[in-house]
Structure 1
Amino acid sequence: MQPLRRSSRLTRHTNSAQPPTQVPETAVSSSRKNPRKSSQRRIRCTPPPEDSEPEVESLSEKNSSEEEEDMQEEILPKETRYENSRTAFQGLYQEKPDLLRPSKKPLSARFMTQEARERYVSLKPRKFIHQQCLSLSDKNLQDVKKIVADAGLLYTVCDSDSFQPSVVREFVANLGDAEPRGDGVAVYVRGSLVEFSPSLINTMYCIPHCEEDPSWMKEKLDKVCTFLSGNRIKRWEDMSSKYLTVTNQVLYKLVCSNWIPTMSYTAMNAERLRFVYMLHLRKGFNFGKFIYNQILRMAENTETEKKRRIILPTLIQQVILIQRTIPPDNSDEAESDFPKLVVKDKKAGLGSGADSKEPNLEEDIDHAISFLKGIRGRLRSKMSLRGGEYPLQGENEDTENEDTESG
């Protein structure tokens, strides 16, 4: 089933709370040069699935360039989607202005409560984990692009926006006082409420609805590492970033910046590895819910995790911008730079010294026993140098048992 156009999907999203709102149709298709091709194509939010028609390896350069051009035409411009979104929300709020007003009187134009202001103060010195962007025209990244597009997540890495640090921090600070709405919440931002929900995130990035399959979170790590390393690594314990294939290393970078953010780009994390593996398999996955829960957890832990960076700032800014524009004020910091382009590492996949065997329970037990015996021997030698001043744990019990028996 092909994804719906951005404007029609947004209209369906807002229909749950109000009568149908007319959204202007985008004029993207009318700008095509070839009228015959335009009549045969349907604009899609994501590229067609892989199994729509088998590829022919002997395509000419002309045909290849035409396919790349078709792919570009199927990507709806961000500006067009934002304009359609704001039009739909504006119509909704004109019919139901109460949706913009919080149920309680806010503390100020920036904060819902005093607690929100205090949370903002604790968030102010924190830095951000900046998201990255995938170039759609870089031929060197077409393999990455295809995997991401087939998984339905292309817009999450090609939409490029700077963000306003003050606005993003205010959004996170006010999340603690958000009001329930639909499958998400309504957050106070600069004088009125904005919607924040899993369904809105999916709509924003043109992600089609699918039945969620949580089994990807339980994939065996040995199998995952074998696949992502190109069969070089057979065991999770042996996995390192240098063994990821070139393609999977780029995907892992995107996971660390855009999907499950962290500053440890080279540290191998079980959840992130499984996420990359899931992208290849294209299992059912609710991206909006996944991202929504991460941002809520970050907001809840504002006081306890004071050194943690703020995640997904570009996404948070985009959630606001597809609903309305945010006028700057004197308290705003300078906007961030646009997300940097992700690149392939020339050294990726060239790690040497891979000597990984299939897991074997008996061998693992023998190896663990030998390792523990070695530790015990080293500890005993250290204790003997100290004159037996600190006997090993368990030796006192043996001595006491012997004295009891002899007594």
Structure 2
Amino acid sequence: MIRWAPRPRRGRRAGTGRPGVQVWGIVAEAVASLRGRTVRAWLTAAGIAMGIAATVATVGLSSTAQAAVSDKFDAVKATQVTASLSDEVVASGLFPTTEDSARVRGLNGVVAAGLVCESSQERRVSRTDSDGFFRSAPVSAVEGHALEAIGIEVVNGRAYDSGHGARGDSVVMIDTVLAKDLGITDVSGSPVLFIDGDRYLLIGIYQAPRSETGFTRAAIVPVEFCLTEGSTGFGGPQARIRTELGAAEQVGGESSVALWPRDPALVQVAVPPDLSDFRQGVEGDIQALLLGLAAVSLVIGAVSVSNTALVSVMERRSEIGLRRAVGASRRAIAGQFVCESTIIGVVGGAIGTVIGVNVTAVVSLARDWQVAFDPLLLAAGPVVGALVGVVAGVYPAWRASRVAPAVTLRS
């Protein structure tokens, strides 16, 4: 009886088995290869980690700082309004009164407002009535309510009030810089100053904000000193107004009527422009610049990975040739090198994400910012690192797959 024997099964070439088994085999070979070159793998991953860390920190700090930057821009936009009387009114001998400024303070959205006559010339300020020792300084007339509107802070003594002005008291306040120049540290003992020979009682030392250069190294007296005909050394009266956020336009439109209801057309109102578009442009430009720098870091990391992988291909030509000789396909060889680069990219991306998050947190705490971080960045870091690894490993993998087994084994 003739029996047909089963046909023997042909052997499979290495790397051409079932897809699932083949993929896991390639991954296992890649992991084993990286474990045998630990130092090189970590150094290569560090290049990607730096790029990912720069990217994550840039995005994190941009979103964190956005609220702080927006608050500062909005505060500048909506808190300063100036209403000035025309020269025609001043030349006619008419002056606004404290009752006029009280109407301005009654407008909705006004935080503080008062009359100010800024200095038109510097005057001699000394501690004695002789000219032996003096300092030239601007002297402005400021209503007590305007101190808050300008942002003047009393650091020693006290500020004058409406009673001083109503009685015509000769009182004065000086800036900290002028006080230092005159050798005055405090107002204890009721020191006296002489302004162009006129005697004034020093009741307070103040510090002006940096933006108010006209009140730095200066002296201020009650506003009533400039609201009379014949007063010299002062510019025209104006109302300095500080508003709530977003109320500048409305207050600016109403302040002329409140300050000079006799003829509002004679009042010139200066309202800061809307800075929202400028703010967004600045934020966008800064973020684009930082992201560009982060992208350069990623490119450097990718080139580092590609260069390392290419050197590895040159060093492992004998290994690659042996595997090709025993049946490994070109696809399997290329897949192993791409897998190695991808693993390095994932590790570098994870490390870079951790570094970027910590940098964002440290900088935010140092600047007293509230941390605003998108959770998607935690996943995006390793993903971007993997993509960089794949792109960086394509050319070395192609070079490895083109290694000829016979020539390599002979060499």
Verify same fold: TM over 0.5.
Answer: no
TM-score bracket for the superposition, by shorter chain length: under 0.3
Q: Normalization by structure 1: what TM-score? A: 0.19
Q: Relative contact order (alpha carbons < 8 A, sep ≥ 6): 1 or 2 greater?
A: 2
Q: Which has the larger radius of gyration?
A: 2
